[in-house]
Structure 1
Amino acid sequence: MVHPLAAATPVGSVPDLLRLLAVPAFAWAAHRDLRTRRVPNRTWPPLLLLGVVALAWDALVAFGGPSFLGRLFLLRVGVSLGVVAPLGYLFWRLGGFGGADAKALVTLAVLFPTYPTYYVGGTILPLARSAVGAFSLTVLTNAVLVGLAYPLALAVRNLADGRVSPLAFVGKPVTSDAVEREYGRLLRTTSGVGRNGLDLDALRMYLRWRGTSLAALRADPETHRDPRSLPGTPNDPGDGSLADFEGPPIAASAADGGTLASRSSSASSALPPDSPSERAAADPWGAAAFLASIEGDAYGTTPDRLRAGLDALVEEDEVWITPGLPFLVPTFVGLVVGLVVGDLLFLALTAIGLA
Structure 2
Amino acid sequence: MYDVVPIASTPDVLRLVAVPVFAWAAVRDVKTRRISSSVWVPLSALAAVLFVWDGWVAYQAGGVVWSHEFLVPSALSLGVVVPLAYLFWWFGGFGGADAKALLVLALLFPTYPAYEIGSWTLPTVTPEIASAFSLAILTNAVLLGVLIPVVLAIRNAIAGRIAPVMFIGWPVEWTTVSSTHGRLLDAPSGRSLSGLDLDALRMYLRWRGLSLEELRTDPETYRDPASLPDEPNPPTDGAVTAEVRSDGGSSPVQDSLERDTDASADIEVEDPWGAAAFLEDIDGTAYGTGPETLRDGLEVLTEREAVWISPGTPFLVPIFAGLVVALVYGDLLFTLLF
TM-score normalised over the length of structure 2 = 0.91
User: How far 1:276 sits from its partner (Å)?
Assistant: 4.3
**For the structure 1 residues 340 and 175, does the alpha-carbon distance in structure 2 shift closer, same or farther, using more than 3 Å as the test?**
same
- Once the two structures are superposed, what CA deviation does each residue of 1:269-327 show, in whole Å capped at 9, x if it has no partner? xxxxx944323321111001111111111111111111111111112222111011111
Query: Which of 87, 92, 95 pairs up with 1:90?
Result: 87
1:333 aligns with 2:333: no
Q: Using the alignment, how far apart are the partners of 2:283 and 2:48 within structure 1?
A: 36
Partner residue in 2 for 1:99: 96
Deviations along 1:16-38, one digit per CA (max 9) or x if unpaired, are 01101111111111110011111
1:248 shift after superposition: 4.0
Instruction: Please give the alpha-carbon distance, in whole angstroms, between the structure 1 residues aligned to 2:283 and 2:290.
Output: 14
Q: Equivalent residue for 1:236?
A: 234
| Partner of residue 256, structure 1 | none
Counterpart-to-counterpart distance in 2, 1:176 and 1:250: 22
In percent, how many aligned pairs have the same letter? 55
Q: How many residues align?
A: 321
Partner of residue 114 from structure 1, selected from 111, 126, 131? 111
Matched, 1:57 2:53: yes
Cα separation, 1, equivalents of 2:189 and 2:278: 21
| Greater Cα offset, 327-336 or 122-131 | 122-131
* Deviations, residues 235-271 of structure 1 (Å, cap 9, x unaligned): 1010111111xx4425469xxxxxxx9xxxxxxxxxx
Distance 2:156 2:85 in 1: 32
Name 2:209's counterpart in structure 1.
211
- 2:171 is paired with a residue whose SS is strand
The residue that corresponds to 2:276 in the other structure is 288
Q: What amino acid sits opposite 1:189 in the alignment?
A: A
Gap runs ≥5 in structure 2: 251-261
- Select which of 267, 273, 297 maps to 1:309: 297
SS in 1 for 2:184: coil
Partner amino acid, structure 1, of 2:65: L
User: How far apart, in 2, do the equivalents of 1:13 and 1:93 lie?
Assistant: 36
Question: What TM-score do you get using the length of structure 1 for normalisation?
Answer: 0.87
**What is the RMSD of the two structures over their aligned residues, measured on CA atoms?**
1.8
8 Å CA contact 1:191, 1:308 repeated in 2: no
Note if contact 2:209-2:246 (Cα within 8 Å) is conserved in structure 1.
Answer: no
Counterpart of 2:336 (choices 340, 348, 353) is 348
Whether contact under 8 Å (1:86, 1:106) holds in the other structure is no
Q: Which runs of 4+ in 1 moved over 4 A?
A: none
- Whole-angstrom distance in 2 between the partners of 1:164 and 1:275: 45
Counterpart contact for 2:137–2:323, Cα < 8 Å: yes
